[in-house]
Amino acid sequence: MIDFQDVTKTYTTNDKQITAVDHVNLSIEQGEIFGVIGFSGAGKSTLIRCVNLLERPDQGKIIVNGTDMLKLSKPELINVRRKIGMIFQHFNLLESKTVFHNVGFPLLLAGVSKQKVKRKVDQLLEFVGLKDKAEHYPEQLSGGQKQRVGIARALATDPEILLCDEATSALDPQTTSSILDLLRKVREEYNITILMITHEMPVIKEICDRVAVMEQGKVIEEGSIFDVFSNPQQQTTRNFVKTVMNDQLPQSVIDKVHGAHEGSKIVRLTFVDDSTDIPLISDVAKKFEVDTNILFGQIIELQKKPFGSLIVELIGTSTEIDKAIQFIESQASVEEVETDGD
């Protein structure tokens, strides 16, 4: 479990103060995959580096599995850090060492015998699918393979927590997906708590249980993936959600369609879970004197629950349209889409 309690970190440069992390409170449960998203400069890196005190907060507390990190002596901190693995955007491998030695390095530093190191490294390379690359050097590997080495190295000291600092940002979408699969396997196999920071919403959608959105050092929104994606509260969150939900029609298309039918209304319907099965549009056609022109529709899965979104134009008299909307509202959430002249 990782608890950020009122954590603040300020940097001073050229007499200017930057509050990189501003009174952050977050609680990350044992075994969950928790994502922090934000634009560049939002404070994500600073926040994640506060967990193992690569950055020391000026205020607040960091509690990791019951340990108050800021109260540890230097030797105690070194010990606790072994239980917190970290992987990085640019992998941070030792270029002059083989894959085997990169993975075994933290164990050699901890004074583990060569025999035990060999056993552990062999097992980890098998786990990350790089057994045949043990004697290769980092420059002989692809980005995805380098990150697999990074993950194996982070797991060498049997951590309870894995911190992922933009771990897939340097990778193409397909490789990203395979690394996310591996991280899922890490959680399943080792029951490790994973805290990841990223600016990529597809990564959050694909792997996280919960997400926090950061802006200017503050957490502006937090919740389960389903809640945040299906009902974002803040504009920044909506902007991030749009990058994966892709349910926006160009305004010019909306205005053109709307202009063709006087008095019509364009609405966005969102369906959650069971309501995705209901034949709502055909019910509307049967019950009301309203024609529906379907402009867009999709159903996606969020944390294994279906989430549907549909944009339709309702054509008819305003009384019939209002009655139809009232009926739809009993089954789905309805939001009017702004059209030219609204």
Note the residues at the interface with ligand ATP (CB under 6 A): 11, 13, 18, 20, 38, 40-46, 199
Q: Which one, 45 or 230, has the nearer CB to ligand ATP?
A: 45
Nearer to ligand ATP, 20 or 141 (CB): 20
Taking the complex as a whole, the smallest distance from the CB of residue 37 to ligand ATP amounts, in Å, to 9
In the complex, minimum distance from the CB of residue 339 to ligand ATP, in angstroms, rounded to a whole number: 37
Helical ranges in 191-288 per DSSP H? 201-207, 225-230, 235-245, 251-260, 280-287
Of the pair 5, 19, the CB lying nearest ligand ATP is at 19
248-286 in b/e form (b: 16+ CB < 10 A) is eeeeeebbebbeeeeebbbbbbbbbeebbeeebeeebee
Report the alpha-carbon distance of residue 310 to residue 37 in Å, rounded: 27
CB of 234 to ligand ATP, least distance (A): 16
Structure tokens at 151: 């993950």
Of the CA atoms within 13 Å of residue 312, those in its CB half-sphere come to 25
Question: Cα separation of 209 and 225, whole Å?
Answer: 6
Starting at the edge strand found earlier in the chain, the sheet holding 291-302 runs 291-302, 305-315, 265-272, 333-336
Nearer to ligand ATP, 44 or 205 (CB): 44
β-pairing verdict for 210-215 and 33-37:
parallel
- Distance in Å, CB of 47 to ligand ATP, minimum: 7
Shortest separation between residue 44's beta carbon and ligand ATP, angstroms: 4
Closer Cβ to ligand ATP, 35 or 38, answer by number: 38
Write down the least CB distance from residue 229 to ligand ATP, Å.
Answer: 21
Give the whole-angstrom CA distance, residue 17 versus residue 146: 37
Handedness of CA 121, 123, 124, 130 (dihedral sign): positive
Nearer to ligand ATP, 40 or 115 (CB): 40
